[in-house]
Amino acid sequence: MTNSLSDTNLHYTLTPSDPKGHLFEVTLTIDQPEQPMQTVRLPNWIPGSYLIRDFSKHLIGLNATTLEQSPVELTLVDKSTWLFTSDGQPVVLRYQVYAWDLSVRGAHFDESHGFFNGTSVFLAVENQRDKPCSLHLKSTEFTQANRWKVATGLQANAVDEQGFGTYYANDYNALIDHPFELGTFTEIDFIACGIPHKMVLTGLFDCDTERLKDDLIKICETELKIFPPPIPMNNYLFQVMVTGSDYGGLEHRNSTALMCSRNDLPYKGMKQVTDGYLQFLELCSHEYFHTWNVKRIQPKVYQQADLSKPVYTNQLWWFEGITSYYDGLILQRAGLIDNETYLKLLAKQMTRVYRMPGRFQQSVAESSFYTWTKFYQQDENAPNAIISYYTKGSLIALGLDLTIRQQTQGKKSLDDVLKHLWQHFGQHGIGLQEGQIEQLCSEVSGIDLSGFFKRYLYGTEDLPFEQLFADFGIEFTLQPANSLTDLGGNKSEESLPLHLGATLSDTPQKTVKITHVWQQQPAYQAGLAAGDELIAINDIKVSSKSQVETLLKRSTKNTTWHCHYFRRDELRNCQLTPTPPPNDRVYLSEKGEFSLVNATKPIIKWL
């Protein structure tokens, strides 16, 4: 499909000009600037990532001229906004973008590949954001010599075999919602429910692409079948940057940008699903689910946001929490993991909440509202002060699903709420007002859920999972940690007898660094703080956290340790008395009627 560019008033050109200097060259031609003044602005944040990132700090040499190269004076209004006097004649803006942010949110360019989000490189023309745009992506001697290709979800208008050429966007919001990957990536093409899909992987890695393709098909088709037609995209693209240890994802209209460790990809001959591969599949599931739940079903306040300042909502518990609940559930429904593996995955997710005392200090609704500061700018005290709308939001989703299924005798579920939101809001581009989702949950299910939301969404109570799970043949157990690295999910046969109430990490200097201290726990009572480095306990050098764990296992109740530590470059000491650990690791198991014993294909009742 092609669109005529004759109706476009805004013409962007991007050239990957200097891979060694990490520079893109960008021009913007405005055919009919607004009179008497035209304002242009670069976004300060990118949809889906709620932090002011000041992308304009990477702009270099911004200038403006007429088509005849006469200079046009630009006036800086604020850190990311400029204006110029206009008589209605065309104006050309030129600038460079320094692209050295290897993430899913920004722009990155070197000899190995190029990647950019439109929010990092394309100025918005104020009062013309609704106008169609063209983008000409230029090839260079470097891209041609290295046989680079282009991968993007943006609609091509006239491109060569490698994908360089002209693209079309209906408006500015569409232009910035289709990231580009340039390079010599590995391609995986597949069809899911009749829709063409592609995954491109950039980086150094070894991967069983056939296994990955088969698993992606199962994930995509399972999610496509949850939501009634029409399918919201004609094609879909997974853009994956593979590195040594990175992880993350960001959703877009018909694509997602992902980062993963090369060790998370499936290797040829791999028999089982490794924890790393399971994490990667869950990430793919999560971002693909956002195609509906965020990109179409979305808060009213996020629609047409100018991206210059924060936008506040209490609703992220739904858009990220519900998605975080479904991302693992989809893997079970797709047959990629069995019940036992799913319950272990779910228990680990629940443990991330039960370990956080901050869940009693901040509600999930508040967590959403403060995402711009407290969540996206977490400090060492975060576990004591906040809770994540991802993790606690996913528990609210789980509790909501179980509650609806229980009280409707299985006739309704959270799936029905999702379908209603898609059919009545997402398909029609209608944004959701504050509190509207909670009302719709009650309406769709036919039960009064106001008390549920008051206690668990706007309040700080733990959900009654022991009671909720019991009706579905699942035993919910809270138990103490069995090691300093215990993340939950496994039955504790032997628990740590004592704990410090602190998170530890090994350092290259062979010391043990304290990264977090839980309030009112032993490390806190001893006066230790985040950033302190333990160097000796009871006059014996401490060089690893495993050594600390051994001491915890060998110590008895009411034992006091004499600790030496560095705070900054100052040597200090304290007396620390470890105490029995709290029951904050979750273990889930099937019981009774729905036991796995002698079952060839068990299905948990609520799944």
443 with 525, same domain? no
Q: What is the pLDDT of residue 3?
A: 56
Query: % helix / strand / coil in the chain, to the nearest 5?
Result: 30, 30, 45
Domain identity same for 509 and 528: yes
Report residue 8's pLDDT band, with 50, 70 and 90 as the boundaries: confident
Domain assignment of residue 593, yes or no: no
Instruction: Return the percentage of the chain with pLDDT > 90, whole number.
Output: 94
Q: Which of 235, 298, 246, 199 is nearest to 105 (CA)?
A: 246
Compute CA 249 distance to the chain's CA centroid, rounded to the nearest angstrom.
5
Residues 375 and 405 reside in one and the same domain: yes
Tell me the per-residue pLDDT of 470-498, one tens digit each, with 9 for 90 and over.
999 999 999 999 999 999 999 988 889 99
The arithmetic mean of pLDDT across residues 315-344, rounded, is 96
Answer for the pair 127, 37: CB distance below 8 angstroms, yes or no: no
- Whether residue 483 lies inside any domain: the answer is no
Residue 57 to residues 60, 65, 78, 118, 263, Cα–Cα distance (Å): 8, 22, 12, 15, 34
pLDDT, residue 596, reads 33
Confidence band of 601 (pLDDT split at 50, 70, 90): very low
Instruction: Judge whether residue 602 has pLDDT over 80.
Output: no
E strand spans, 303-381: none
How many domains in the chain? 4
- What's the Cα-to-Cα distance from 589 to each of 154, 278, 469, 474, rounded to whole Å? 45, 20, 10, 6
- Kindly state whether residues 272 and 127 are assigned to the same domain: no
Summarised one tens digit per residue, pLDDT across range 379-434 is 999 999 999 999 999 999 999 999 999 999 999 999 999 999 999 999 999 999 99
pLDDT at 597 over 80: no
CA distance 604 to 595: 9
pLDDT at 494: 85
Q: What tens digit of pLDDT does each residue of 163-193 get?
A: 999 999 999 999 999 999 999 999 999 999 9
Residues 309, 270, single domain; the answer is no
Beta pairing partners, 161: none
Q: Single out the residue in 155, 183, 211 at which a domain terminates.
A: 183
Q: Which of 267, 291, 315 is the last residue of a domain?
A: 291
CATH assignment at residue 553:
2.30.42.10
Report whether pLDDT(4) > 90: no
Query: What is the tens place of the pLDDT at every residue in 11-62?
Result: 999 999 999 999 999 999 999 999 999 999 999 999 999 999 999 999 999 9
State what percent of residues in the chain have pLDDT above 70: 97
pLDDT value at position 443?
98
Predicted confidence at residue 605, as pLDDT, reads 75
Same domain flag for 335 and 227: no
Do 459 and 518 belong to one domain? Answer: no
User: Residue 371 carries which DSSP code?
Assistant: I
Rounded mean pLDDT, 225-242: 97
From 183, 203, 234, give the residue that closes a domain. Answer: 183
pLDDT of residue 604: 75
490 lies in some domain? no
CA distance 283 to 263: 15
Q: How confident is the model at residue 7 (pLDDT cuts 50, 70, 90)?
A: confident
**Do residue 446 and residue 309 come from a single domain?**
yes
Round the average pLDDT of the chain to a whole number and report it: 95
- How confident is residue 599, by pLDDT bands cut at 50, 70 and 90? very low
Structural domain boundaries, residue 534: 502-576
Assess whether 18 and 142 both reside in one domain.
yes
Any idea what the CATH number is for the domain that residue 425 is in? 1.10.390.10
**Diameter over CA atoms, the chain:** 84
* 437 and 553 in a common domain: no
pLDDT single digits (tens) 516-567: 999 999 999 999 999 999 999 999 999 999 999 999 999 998 899 999 999 9
Does 150 lie in the same domain as 23? yes
